[in-house]
Amino acid sequence: MGEKIEKGSKGIYIPGNKSAVPKLSLLLGKDSFFCVHIDAHQRLTFYRTARKSSFKQSVIEWLEESIRLSELLKESKLEVWVGLIQPHYTFVPVPLYQEEHRDLYAQRAFYLPLRDATWTDSITTRDYIKVLYEADRELYKMLYQFLPEVSCTHFLTPLLRRFYEQFGDHNKTLCLANVRGGYLTLAVFVDGKLIFANLFEWQKDEDIYYYLALMVNQLELEPNKLVMHLSGEWTPDSDRHKWVRRKFKQWKWTHVQNHIFSASVKKHELQAFQLYDLVSPFL
């Protein structure tokens, strides 16, 4: 049986609060790395992305080389979050969840023998659910060895939690479309209830268009009534953004309600919605 990880978001942005603790947010894909650091004044100090083939074995060394991890860890009360972009996951409603059957739920959902262990997070929505996912025990041990206070979750956990807290009570049909690396996350809420969530791998923009159309057809949604919220690696006036604007008349950028953070992001020639998934654990 796998160990259990069930930690909530530690930090919160308070506009104008000069005593906020610094934060380090990491996303780890199977061969990808995404990282932001936010100082005690809530300003973005750096944003890093890269790809690496032998990622698991050298993740800490590479973090040290890329972002000077040991220097950051000297900061007092540094909050560190690591999110796993892991395509093997499933949801279980809390009323139906039994801890002793945790691995069994995962095996039936993945249709694969578990290579390591099943881990769990919780997402508080109107339908309180568990996120079960396959995780690499050795990677966790390595992270906790160097980052004892780290909070590890599935990539989706804080993203869906934050999106629901921000928009979930709206009496509308909402879709979160987040692009990060080679993954497209689609999540649909209807009247505050999560009715669909999936993590798709893509290689070209046409794949994104296909998955969006597939979602609409499978759920029998009306594109004109669907409110699209875009986050992650969408670029204004890019071809993929123009396609979304043509197909969905109601669309918005996800926003981070923090003027200090947003102002510092612009200095890095970014926009806050492009980092929404990376900062969602601290919102």
Q: Tell me how far apart the alpha carbons of residues 7 and 153 are, in angstroms, rounded to a whole number.
A: 8
pLDDT in the model for residue 54: 55
**Which are the contacts of 131, defined by CB distance < 8 A and separation ≥ 6?**
89, 90, 91, 120, 121, 122, 123, 154, 156, 157
CATH number for the domain running over 168-257: 3.30.420.260
**pLDDT for 102:** 81
Please choose, from the candidates 101, 206, 208, the residue with its C-alpha nearest in 3D space to the C-alpha of residue 198: 208
* Band (13; pLDDT cuts 50, 70, 90): very low
pLDDT score of 3 more than 60: no
pLDDT band with cut points at 50, 70 and 90 for residue 19: low
**Residue 202: which of 232, 175, 169 has the closest Cα?**
232
Query: Which of 69-73, 110-114, 125-129, 142-146 is predicted most confidently?
Result: 69-73
Does position 262 have pLDDT exceeding 60, yes or no?
Answer: yes
Q: How far apart are CA 3 and CA 137, in angstroms?
A: 9
For residue 12, pLDDT beyond 90: no
For the ranges 5-9, 202-206, 230-234, the lowest mean pLDDT is seen at 5-9
In this structure, of 9-13, 177-181, 196-200, 211-215, the range with the lowest mean pLDDT score is: 9-13
69 within 8 A of 82, measured Cβ to Cβ: no
CA distance 165 to 39: 24
Average pLDDT over residues 74-101: 86
SS3 for the chain is CCCCCCCCCCCCCCCCCCCCCCEEEEEECCCEEEEEEECCCCCEEEEEEEECCCHHHHHHHHHHHHHCHHHHHCCCCCEEEEEECCCCEEEEEHHHCCHHHHHHHHHHHHCCCCCCEEEEEEECCCCCEEEEEEECHHHHHHHHHHCCCCEEEECHHHHHHHHHHHHCCCCCEEEEEEEECCEEEEEEEECCEEEEEEEEECCCHHHHHHHHHHHHHHHCCCCCCEEEEEEECCCCCCHHHHHHHHHCCEEEECCCCCHHHHHHHHCCCCCHHHHHHHHHHHC
Question: What is the distance between the alpha carbons of residues 56 and 136, in angstroms, rounded to a whole number?
Answer: 9
210 band by pLDDT with thresholds 50, 70 and 90 = very high
pLDDT score recorded for residue 16? 45
Say what the pLDDT of residue 202 is: 93
